[in-house]
Amino acid sequence: MPTITFLPDNVTVQVEDGENLLAAAAKAGVYIHAYCGGDGVCGKCKVQLAAGELRSDRANLKAEEYDKGLRLACQSAVVADVTIRIPEQVSKNGKSLKAKPKTTRAISARSLDHLIGSWQVAPPVEKRFLALEPPTLEDNVPDLQRLMRAIKKKCHDCAEPTYDHPELLMELPFILRQANWQVTAIMLRGKRAEEPDRIIAVEPGDTTGNLYGLAVDIGTTTVCGVLINLNSGEVIAEASAYNDQIGCGEDVISRIIYSQRPGGLKALQEKVVHTINAVIDTVCTKVMISPSDISYIMAAGNTIMSHLLLGLNPKFLREAPYVPTCSHFPLTRAAALGIHAHPSVRLFLYPAVASYVGGDIISGVHACRMYKSPELTLFIDIGTNGEIVVGNEEWMVCAACSAGPAFEGGGIRHGMRANAGAIENFHIHPQTFEPMIITIDRIKPCGICGSGLIAIVAELLEAGVIDQQGKFNRGLDHPRIREGADGYEYVLAWGKETLMGEDIAITEVDLDNLIRAKGAMYAGYVTLLESVGMTFDDLDRVIMAGNFGAYIDLEQAICIGLLPDIDRDKFYYLGNGSMLGCQISLTDHVRFRERMIVSSLITNLELSESAQFMSHYMASLFLPHTDMSLFPTVQAKLPEGRG
């Protein structure tokens, strides 16, 4: 891994080979002007190559500039140790400007293993090769009994296995005889240790070498699938696809509304199945196996996605008092739902806790094992519906809070999903108030995604461009700060540097929406902790799950009050906990069985009409909070605090 040294003041950072220099500077906390997101057109991010080499594009630079060692940071890839000097006009008092490094990600890499623990390759589905004794007149027990006898012989202390659907029985006599009594039984281990194993299918010959399982994360927006070789535990293919239901509504509420139309529920069920099938086909094609070679599917989704997949009407999930049909979903035949799978294959769907605390959260809690640790843990998944779990090995409480769509770009004038061109990182020059914007895929900016929004608000707050109420400093005279249709706003990128040719700005309305969103999350943490008589001081760990967590900066998130201001070493980033839980459950039946503990320990708290929650929410509608004693480190760096 190459090392970059930024001059004038020797900030060093190690980066992946081929890392983009502008992105590396942003991550290292080194400010460079950048207006076009990294597209190479604004020409602002010129830096001086002081030593070493870069792989740079010469376009957008004059020949003499290039020869002098000038490079566009956004057009340069780091391939070896290199020393870079930041131009004087962007440095301050002879020092390159600090920015906050991405702290969360670094912590996650260090401690993910510790968090989720190890697991063995002993999946809940297994194959057993059996060489049966052919029947004789002295020993003419039924075919099924012969099969079971052979299975039992291989496992002395096992209970009598049970068997499966009549379809198995219809084929069994023919498979046994055609295979000359040499067959492979596909067995499902009992859901609990004391339950007998179950024969779900029988294949001719010895097929034990091929055993595959699929982990599926059924998101409202995206469905992800991971194909695992269950003999080795290895992930052998991954794929994802947009949930086809998006056409019926972007969020879960609009999906519920759609489901109430005539035929709506059926359409939604078919659409998510269609998406899952697309994912299955993609992973199978990648490794050249047939979908019918998959022997088990573990899936997790929020409660609405789970209901829709099973064809359960989600009507009452949306109406107070928000009652799901069930929380433990039946172990279903995947094929019965229309999924491309062998008729014997089961689809396990992680149980939900409540209408808005679903199987995706339970899967994440299951993966991170907070229910097995004495440490008091706050588990959070930030999104339109923020889910929060607090507890340890003895008890857990959970709640959902409707943060609104700001973190997913909704309700923000230039908000967008985290796609190419979304501003994902932002720094501001504390004197000039000029921006450094980094977009996803380094193309011209076309909007702001959730992590970018957090960065922008945190930077504007720290620079004193906005105040703690989310209002622009009326005293600042700067071309980027102006009054627009939605009141005051800061222009992040001028039209000439954006993809659509119009200015991209953040407005006071946007700020207000963000404050409500983060306020709801924070009020959720406090209310849940309070419900069990605890405070942030009691917390040993904060685990962030979900895709969004991967992209937010810990310091920025604390700065705006989205996360509590506590010891940074207590924060962990889990990644896609929903998928992780599915993968672990698919690979290790002992871990799989442990999920029952999660269900038994967890209690749901309904925040939506709680007076305590409302009171904490009101107190949180401030950057970072009305009670600054809760945010001492933020206090210290805000203009007022520094003042």
Candidates 19, 126, 143, 408; binder of its own copies (CB under 8 A) is: 143
The tokens describing 633, both together, are 């480190």
109 binds its own copies (CB under 8 A): no
> Which is nearest to 32 in space by CA: 42, 18, 22, 19?
22
Residue 463 CB neighbours (<10 A): 18
Tokens of 585: 């459950």
Min dist. Cβ of residue 181 to its own copies (A): 11
- Number of residues interacting with its own copies: please give it, by CB under 8 A: 45
Which one among 106, 141, 155, 287 touches its own copies, defined by CB under 8 A? 141
DSSP E strands: which ranges in 172-271? Answer: 182-188, 198-204, 212-218, 222-229, 234-242
Based on the shown chain and the rule CB under 8 A, indicate whether residue 262 belongs to the binding site for its own copies: no
Considering the rule CB under 8 A, would residue 259 count as an interface residue with its own copies? Answer: no
Residue closer to its own copies (CB basis): 66 or 322 = 322
The yes or no reply on residue 193 touching its own copies (CB under 8 A) is no
Position 197 contacts its own copies (CB under 8 A): no
Contact between 489 and 456 under an 8 Å Cβ cutoff? The reply is no
604 lies in the binding site for its own copies (CB under 8 A): yes
Q: Residue 591: which residues within 8 A CB-CB, separation 6 or more?
A: 119, 366, 584, 585
* Cβ neighbours of residue 38 closer than 8 Å, sequence gap 6 or more: 20, 22, 23, 45, 74, 438, 439, 442, 443
Nearer to its own copies, 181 or 212 (CB): 181
Q: How far is the CB of 166 from its own copies (least distance, A)?
A: 6
**Interface region with its own copies, contact rule CB under 8 A, candidates 41-49, 158-166, 366-374, 584-592:** 158-166
Separation CA 188–CA 273 (nearest Å): 23
Q: What residues from 405 to 434 belong to the interface with its own copies (CB under 8 A)?
A: none
For 300, how many CA atoms within 13 A lie in the half-sphere containing its CB? Answer: 31
| 354 touching its own copies, by CB under 8 A | yes
User: Is there binding between residue 144 and its own copies (CB under 8 A)?
Assistant: yes
Decide: is 542 part of the binding site for its own copies (CB under 8 A). no
- Our finding on whether 599 is near its own copies (CB under 8 A) is no
C-beta of 294 vs 354, nearer to its own copies: 354
Can you read off the two tokens belonging to residue 222? 């995206």
Please report whether residue 163 would count as binding its own copies according to CB under 8 A.
yes
Does 142 help bind its own copies (rule: CB under 8 A)? yes
DSSP label of 111: H
* Chain Cα centroid distance, residue 460: 27
Whichever of 254 and 313 has its CB closer to its own copies, that residue is 313
Q: By CB under 8 A, which span of 204-212, 305-313, 486-494, 532-540 interacts with its own copies?
A: 305-313
For β-strands 541-545 and 571-575, DSSP reports them as parallel
Give the binding range for its own copies (CB under 8 A) out of 182-190, 306-314, 377-385, 390-398.
Answer: 306-314
Check residue 263 for interaction with its own copies (CB under 8 A).
no
606 binds its own copies (CB under 8 A): yes
Q: Which of 113, 157, 394, 609 binds its own copies (CB under 8 A)?
A: 609
Q: Is 276 in the site for its own copies (CB under 8 A)?
A: no
Residue 196 contacts its own copies per CB under 8 A = no
Closest CA relative to residue 260, chosen from 268, 270, 271, 251: 268
Strands (E), 66-169: 70-72, 76-85, 125-131, 162-163
Give the Cα separation of 169 and 173 in Å (integer).
Answer: 7
- Whether residue 8 is preceded by a cis peptide bond, meaning omega within 30 degrees of 0, is yes
Measured CA to CA, the distance from residue 452 to residue 458 in angstroms comes to: 10
Our CB check for its own copies shows the closer of 311 and 639 to be 311
Question: Applying CB under 8 A, which part among 202-210, 253-261, 312-320, 428-436 lies near its own copies?
Answer: 312-320
Interface with its own copies (CB under 8 A), residue from 76, 275, 327, 385: 327
Question: Cα(391)–Cα(602) distance, rounded to whole angstroms?
Answer: 8
Q: Work out whether 165 is an interface residue with its own copies (CB under 8 A).
A: yes
Work out how close the CB of 241 gets to its own copies at its nearest, in angstroms, rounded to a whole number: 25
Distance of CA 253 to the CA centre of its chain: 20
Minimum distance, C-beta of residue 302 to its own copies, in the bound complex (Å): 14
Give the residue from 256, 278, 238 showing the smallest Cα distance to 582: 238
C-alpha separations of 371 from 19, 32, 192, 502, 595 in Å: 38, 44, 18, 50, 9
Give the distance from CA 468 to its chain's centroid.
29
Q: Check binding of 313 to its own copies (CB under 8 A).
A: yes
Shortest Å, Cβ 277 to its own copies: 19
Structural tokens at position 258:
């759609």
Which tokens sit at 567? 């010891």
Minimum CB–partner distance for residue 173 and its own copies (Å): 5
By C-beta, is 387 or 555 nearer to its own copies?
Answer: 387
Select 175 or 440, whichever has its Cβ closest to its own copies. Answer: 175
172 binds its own copies per the rule CB under 8 A: yes
Site membership for its own copies, residue 596 (CB under 8 A): no
The nearest distance, CB 486 to its own copies, in angstroms, is: 35
User: Which C-beta is closer to its own copies: that of 140 or that of 469?
Assistant: 140
Are the beta carbons of 554 and 103 closer than 8 angstroms?
A: yes
Long-range contact pairs involving 9-14 (C-beta distance under 8 Å, separation at least 24): 9/94, 9/95, 9/96, 11/96, 13/101
Q: Single out the segment in contact with its own copies by CB under 8 A; choices: 36-44, 106-114, 138-146, 383-391.
A: 138-146
Stretch of 53-61, 381-389, 553-561, 606-614 lying at the interface with its own copies (CB under 8 A): 606-614
Q: Going by DSSP bridges, is the β-strand pair 294-301/212-218 parallel, antiparallel, or unpaired?
A: parallel
331 binds its own copies (CB under 8 A): no
What's the min distance (Å) between Cβ of 126 and its own copies? 22
Q: Which of 222, 608, 612, 633 binds its own copies (CB under 8 A)?
A: 608
CB closer to its own copies out of 222 and 325: 325
The DSSP-derived string for 546-594 is SHHHHHS-HHHHHHTTSS--S-GGGEEEEESHHHHHHHHHHHBHHHHHH
Among 140, 285, 419, 432, binds its own copies (CB under 8 A): 140
Among the residue ranges 49-57, 77-85, 348-356, 465-473, the one whose residues contact its own copies (CB under 8 A): 348-356
List helix spans (H) across 39-94: 63-67
Interaction site with its own copies (CB under 8 A): 135-146, 163, 165-166, 169-170, 172-174, 177, 310-313, 315-316, 320-328, 330, 332, 352, 354-355, 604, 606, 608-609
